[in-house]
Amino acid sequence: MNSCNPLNSVKICIAEALAQISKVAVEDIVKNVEISREEFGDLTILLPRVGLSPEYCREAIETVRNCRFVSEARCAGIYLNIVLNKTLFTDTTFEFLVRCKDSYGIYKEPNPKRIVVEYVSANPLHPLHIGASRNAALGQFIANILKTAGNIVQTRFYINDVGRQVALLTLGMMQLESIEPPNNTKPDHWVGLVYAITNVIAEIMSLKKKLVEALRDEEREEIQRELDELLVDASRLRSQAPDVFDRVAEKLKNIDIEEEVSRIMKLYELGNPDMKSFVRKIVTMCIEGFKQTLTRFGALIDVWDWESDLVWSGEVEEVVKKLEASPLTMVYKGALAVDLGQLAKDLNVRNRLAIDRDLEIPPLIIRRSDGTTLYTVRDIAYTLKKFREFNADKVINIIASEQKLPQAQLKLALYLLGYTREAENLVHYSYEIVAMEGTKMSSRRGRIVTLDEILDTAKQKALAELETRGNRSEELAEKIGVAAVKFYLLSISPSRPMKFSWKLVLDFEKNSAPYLLYTYARTEGIFRKARELELNTEVQELIKIADRGFAENNAKRWRLVKLVASFPEVFYGSYQSLDPSTLVTYALKLADEFNSWYSEEPILLEENEKIRASKILLTYGVKTVLANTLRVLGIEPIEKI
């Protein structure tokens, strides 16, 4: 762990005592000293995990009492429950707070690494939506916590400008007199509208053809149901831009859409100058819109990589040739492929690459029949580029769980080609989808809830709440609104799907960013008021006069002391797992305990100077921990609300 961790000092003391009767190493005992439920004491140890049977419990009790932090110990079956010396532990926690100051609780990596974090990387076809916003929030958090721990981090965005979807968008744009967005229209919103219109028209044309060719009644009924849904989407899209819709529909009427899309894809991959210029202009418009949104959201990108650059540079072709020369090549679905499933049968390989044992790995098609390459094949070249250009020790791809198979194929392909280090240090950081209450989203049909809309709504809701409190600051409403959305997206473990709920996002009373920001502002207000009253707020001076036993017979104070003391371990756990929800849960609990204590006890009006000093020190601890937590989550603390 690190030197700014009071709880770890206690655990080491207990572990060193227990090591006298256990054959388990001190560092392994430390890992098994856990915070207990309040009714059982302060800390607990599962005896078998430290090499002791319940018969040794009495001896264990006597032994741990040799640790100066232990006030009492008792057995409950296979558990050893420990009560701490409140005065000594409080004093130790305060000493750590004063010594470490703003860096309190922050773990510093003894062996910092160079890490690439690729995140967002949304297709440049439409505005960023609620799903991409979870990716953006997670990416910020991961980059922040890795940097905070001392690693050197580079963030990257992969612009997927090669493939069928961009080709279809390009086909739609080709039918317009001008591809420039109309006045007062954000460029990515304009691109998204044209893409949805083109796709819906193409799907309607395809379904109408299938309807004519269908032989069975059931088949015709199913096609007709889907066609009816598409016609509703078409009506909605036409109402947004009738001239654009009618022009694209009229122009596409006499075109073989799939043939034309294939032609565009091939020309672009071959680097045809006219096609390069046209596609790049369209995609750049969308990316400019992304940049505006991500800047507002606080998601910073260091490097923007174009997928097409990899194709034109010959890097993708080099990978293709190596795959074609592999002994595992085969014909699959009429195309040349590599049988990665054979490689995946080796459990040692699966373990080394952290691939689920039950994940079935089909062959990876190297090249389509028309000569164009697939996304995963191009991603091999991109992965090598990320490792090479940043001299990276590790690359983290933040990609939705539905991409588990392509990410596994990517690792296996790298391993097959001899890039063992890259394969073993490529991490798929998986997250589940976000659903919007009452909304069935489809970007292909223009049915999405954009991040822009969400941030605008969050700002307006925050402003309305501030107005009830006598504050009409739009700047503050923007900060609170963005923080609220970000915090909510991080509040649930990435492995769990989530439903976006406005009621929970902007709750000023509990379980939200506004609640935490308000609590932090309260701690800042206490220090501001203390200075106005000319009270001592220098922590180095306060600790000299603080009452060492102020938490001895006060449950609320003691709970707060323990919570502040446990922050370093919560931070370390979140750093190890890269799960922001553990920090969120902890911070909300800390805020609850502080606000409950604050509502019952005066701090600055405390008449006893020594107890007042202790109360201010404890408030300083809460303030420091909340500030560090918020910043790692990508939220800037606000001093006054």
Angle between helices 6-18 and 57-64 (to 10 degrees): 130
pLDDT at 1: 52
Whether domain 6-84 has CATH 3.30.1300.10: the reply is no
What is the average pLDDT across 152-157?
98
Pairing state of beta strands 434-436 and 426-431?
unpaired
The rounded distance, in Å, linking the Cα atoms of 430 and 495 is: 7
The pLDDT tens digits for 532-546 are 999 988 999 999 999
- CATH T-level fold of 452-632: Isoleucyl-tRNA Synthetase; Domain 1 (1.10.730)
Q: Which residue(s) pair with 395 in the sheet? A: 116, 426
Annotate 207-249 with three-state secondary structure: HHHHHHHCCCHHHHHHHHHHHHHHHHHHHHHHHHCHHHHHHHH
pLDDT band at 2 (very low <50, low <70, confident <90, very high): low
- CATH T-level fold of 116-159+302-436: Rossmann fold (3.40.50)
The rounded distance, in Å, linking the Cα atoms of 200 and 245 is: 10
Q: Which residues contact 120 (CB under 8 A, 6 or more apart)?
A: 128, 132, 135, 136, 139, 157, 290, 294, 299, 301, 398
pLDDT at 121: 96
The pLDDT tens digits for 428-455 are 999 998 887 666 667 777 778 899 999 9
**pLDDT: is 333 or 480 the higher one?**
480
pLDDT band at 334 (very low <50, low <70, confident <90, very high): confident
Pairing state of beta strands 394-400 and 114-118?
parallel
The pLDDT tens digits for 212-256 are 888 788 888 999 999 999 999 999 999 999 999 999 999 999 899
Tell me what the pLDDT averaged over the chain comes to: 93
The pLDDT tens digits for 377-434 are 999 999 999 999 999 999 999 999 999 999 999 999 999 999 999 999 999 999 998 8
CB 68 within 8 A of CB 17: no
What share of residues in the chain are helix, strand, coil (percent, to 5)?
60, 10, 30
**pLDDT: is 298 or 3 the higher one?**
298
pLDDT band at 27 (very low <50, low <70, confident <90, very high): very high
pLDDT at 55: 87
Which pair of structure tokens corresponds to residue 67?
A: 């640790």
pLDDT band at 374 (very low <50, low <70, confident <90, very high): confident
User: Exposure string (b/e) for 543-566, b if CB count within 10 Å is 16 or more?
Assistant: beebbebbbeebebbbbbbbbbbb
Domain 6-84 and domain 452-632, same fold? Reply is: no
Where exactly are the structural domains of the chain?
Answer: 6-84, 116-159+302-436, 164-296, 452-632
The rounded distance, in Å, linking the Cα atoms of 291 and 314 is: 28
pLDDT at 91: 95
pLDDT at 438: 64
CB 524 within 8 A of CB 516: no
pLDDT reading at 146 higher than 90:
yes
The pLDDT tens digits for 350-360 are 999 999 999 99
pLDDT at 511: 81
Which segments of 85-129 does DSSP mark as H helices, in order? 86-100
Q: Quick one: which of 165, 128, 119, 126 has its CA closest to 146?
A: 119
For the chain, what is the total number of helices (H) and then of strands (E)? 26, 14
What is the average pLDDT across 548-559?
94
The pLDDT tens digits for 61-93 are 999 999 999 999 999 999 999 999 999 999 999
What is the average pLDDT across 33-47?
93
Q: Is 360 left (phi over 0), alpha (psi -120 to 50) or beta?
A: beta
